[in-house]
Chain A
Amino acid sequence: MKYVTEFRDREVAEGVIAEIAKVVAEIKQNPKIKLPIRLMEICGGQTHSILQYGIHTALPDEVEFVHGPGCPVCVTPIETINLALELAKQPNVIFTSFGDMLRVPGSDENMFEAKAKGADIRWVYAPTEAVEIAKQNPDKEVIFFAIGFETTTWPITEALCVAERDSVKNFSILPTMVRVPPALLVILSDPECVIDGILAAGHVCTIMGTEEYEPLVEKYGVPIVVTGFQPVDILNGVLMCLKQIRDSRAEVENAYGWVAKGAGNTVAKALINKFFKVVDRKWRGIGAIPNSGFGLREEYLHYDAEIKWKNINARKEPEPNKYCGLVLTGKIKPTECPFFRKECSQEHPTGALMVSSEGACAAYFLYNKDTGETK
């Protein structure tokens, strides 16, 4: 397939790996550079690619991946899941969600279990499908579980555009969208931060551009390279990051230039800005992060399910597994969690990171041949 297979070409990949080995050898000549070099890939999709294609095992031992918080399913806190379940169980409600979210456990049950017990829960692929369901069911209230990073926030605005255009009154969203840069700020400003370089999520930059990263690079002196998702994309991102480290540079660079452009997608950004404002948001395992989410603007609050059902209170409970947060911030590897592959598995996930197709724990569970081995 065009734009897929050429980024999985074994020979091209091996060429980049050889170049990476050369740069690492040069880095080793400089005693001032601390080894190993730890690179954080932000997006869970990248984490999955790294493990799926064995990129981590193909790199020199001096380069280590630290997995970032870029999995929207994983960072959504349990109280939001509980709230979503409560809303889904209201009479006359059709609750719609991306499929990935349905297996995430709430305090008592997940969406699949709630569905089996009678709640009308449906998975959609595009948020606009939820608006279509609302149009077809004018006597029901249709709620869409609006989770996602900037990349997904834009398609959510598309649903709102359709709802606005067609005056769909029985449609609302449960807004839980999150932003990457404030989370990065939290990670980089942590005194225990050990990250030497960042592979930023290419698709987020496709929408938002790269400007938001400039202040972070300036303040913390850590290179940020916008990186794609295919093996060759990721290897190129690693190579560019390592070259900056070798040359003692810290800049925002783009290894995903064939898709992500400097200013991002201005049309999408304008739509996001039309419907949403920046708000504080709570992240699983990290806590509240200032300015880290999108919420509906005053004039669109009639699309806010939390306002429509303001008398519904979800159970606030501590996170069932404190290790999720440590994995999300790159402090431990999934395999260092005492529950990994024991109480928490793909069959019986206790943490969201094991559920999502972008969760770091799911990646380790699915692609690491030996349970204990990590690099």
Chain B
Amino acid sequence: MTYNLECPVTGYKDTDVVTMAHGSGGESMQKLISEMFAKAYPDLQSDQDAACVYIAEPKFISFTTDSFVIDPIFFPGGDIGSLAVHGTVNDLAMRGSQPKYISIAFILEEGFPMKDLERIVHSIAEASAKAGVKVVTGDTKVVGRGQGHGIYINTSGIGEIRAITKIVPDVQNVGIGHKIIVSGDIGRHGMAIMSVRNGMELDPPILSDSAPLNGMVRELYYDYINPLCMRDATRGGVAAVLNEIARSAKLHIRIEEEKVPVDENVRGLAEILGLDPLHIANEGRFVLFVKPEDAEKAVSILQKFEGGEKAAIIGEVVAEHEKGLVTAKTLLGSEKPIHMPVGEILPRIC
């Protein structure tokens, strides 16, 4: 077994693959926890049934959970481990909170290579350090060969909602005239995954946008921006987020297609596959609703961050609408609806 010198995981030696014993609660599992997990996560309270954590301003916390079943496990720009951290951190950040503590639960398949597990454990440690969250508790289960897909991860997290968050971002805050911002160019994650699944070797490769968003959100608050509503544009992409918000707030949202930032390579691959970038998943981009007077400033704050260079105002809330409606102004000035994506996103034939 080889180690990366930067890896905090040192000296773990057992078998080359995950066995049923690693989930049995006995010696093998204890060894896995103490030798691999506890070394990677210094804040892990591995000898307790539950972690006890400190919260500075205990008025409100945000709490979320998410499961990760991505295939492929390793992809350009990330892996299931970093994704599992970002997913939960971002869900917390979207409610205006500062993510503090997360749990990591593995469901491993018998025979999963130990070196892959180690790589993922390391990636989780790195991603959580970068996002400023502590891994404080976890769980490990092993399922028989053929009953899983190598590795599944569930993460839960707690975030502090501090006084600086004057209004907790909520879809009910959204109203007519509010501006809609995307925090960067969209579609990278979905296209990175799809290019790998389809064996398309792109040069340069499209890297996933998987990243923590809490730094951006914190900066918005520090600069006195009031995010009225925030959603990370994961499955279903920006189109799904806008539709969800339009439906629950009973509003008509209008965007301008030309203003939606999309990288040229992402657009190219999407064109080849016949997909709309608005429907493609992101793992490090969010949609932000603000009052018109905050919009320009918010964009300039986001643009200072890595991944936020292309942040832009893409539209606004124009009217009330009983069923909720999202439309886009097209190239030739007509208006078309932007639908909630239906079912699995499938490439076209020709």
Binding site for B on A (CB under 8 A): 1, 4, 8, 10, 13-14, 17, 45, 51-55, 57-58, 72-73, 98-103, 112, 123, 125-126, 129, 147-149, 151-152, 203, 231, 346-347, 356-358, 365-369
Q: Which residue of B lies closest to A56 (CB)?
A: B334
- A155–B275 Cα gap in the complex (Å)? 20
Closest to A132 in B: B199
Q: Smallest distance from the beta carbon of B278 to chain A beta carbons, Å?
A: 11
- Min C-beta distance of A204 to chain B, whole Å: 9
Contact of B333 among A8, A58, A101, A147 (CB under 8 A): A58
Q: Which residues of B contact A98 (CB under 8 A)?
A: 347-349
Q: Which chain A residues border B273 with CB–CB below 8 Å?
A: 125
Which residues on B sit within 8 Å (CB–CB) of A14?
Answer: 332
Q: How far is the CB of B149 from chain A (nearest CB, A)?
A: 15
Question: Are A125 and B334 in contact, with the CB atoms below 8 A?
Answer: no
- Evaluate contact between B336 and A369: CB separation under 8 angstroms: yes
Q: Does A231 lie within 8 Å of B346, measured CB to CB?
A: no
Q: Does B77 contact A (CB under 8 A)?
A: no
Task: Bits for B248-267, please: 1 = Cβ < 8 Å to A, else 0.
Answer: 00000000001000001101
B72 close to A (CB within 8 Å)? no
Q: How large is the interface on B (under 10, 10 to 19, 20 to 34, 35 or more residues)?
A: 20 to 34
- A4–B199 alpha-carbon span in the complex (Å): 23
Q: Is B16 an interface residue (CB 8 A)?
A: no
B144 lies within 8 A of chain A by Cβ:
no
A55 to B334, CA, bound (A): 8
A8 touches B331 (CB 8 A): yes
Q: Is the CB of B332 within 8 A of A100?
A: no
Give 10 new A-B contacts, CB below 8 A, not counting A100-B347, A102-B346: A4-B268, A8-B331, A54-B335, A58-B334, A99-B344, A125-B347, A126-B198, A147-B349, A203-B350, A368-B336
The residue from B274, B339, B348 contacting A366, defined by CB atoms under 8 A apart = B339
Residue of B337, B344, B347 touching A367 (CB-CB under 8 A): B337
Q: Is the CB of B337 within 8 A of A54?
A: no
**A151-B350 contact given A1-B267, A4-B271, CB 8 Å threshold:** yes
CB contacts (< 8 Å) of A126 on chain B: these are 198
Bound-state Cα–Cα, A112 to B337, Å: 27
A221–B344 alpha-carbon span in the complex (Å): 44
Please report the number of residue pairs spanning A and B whose Cβ atoms sit closer than 8 angstroms: 101
Are the CB atoms of B336 and A52 closer together than 8 Å?
yes
| Minimum CB–CB distance for A374 against chain B, Å | 13
In the complex formed, the residue of A with least CB distance to B197 is: A125
Contact for B331 among A53, A203, A365, CB less than 8 A? A53
18 contacts between A and B (CB under 8 A): A4-B268, A8-B331, A13-B331, A13-B332, A54-B331, A54-B332, A54-B335, A100-B349, A102-B346, A112-B343, A125-B347, A151-B350, A346-B339, A347-B342, A365-B339, A366-B336, A366-B339, A369-B327
Residues of A within 8 A of B350 (CB): 45, 72, 148-149, 151-152, 203, 358
Residue of B nearest to A366 (CB): B339
Q: A4-B271, A100-B346 are in contact. Are A129 and B199 (CB under 8 A)?
A: yes
Residues of B within 8 A of A53 (CB): 330-332, 334
Decide: A57 and B332 in contact? CB cutoff 8 A.
yes
A268 → chain B closest CB, angstroms: 13
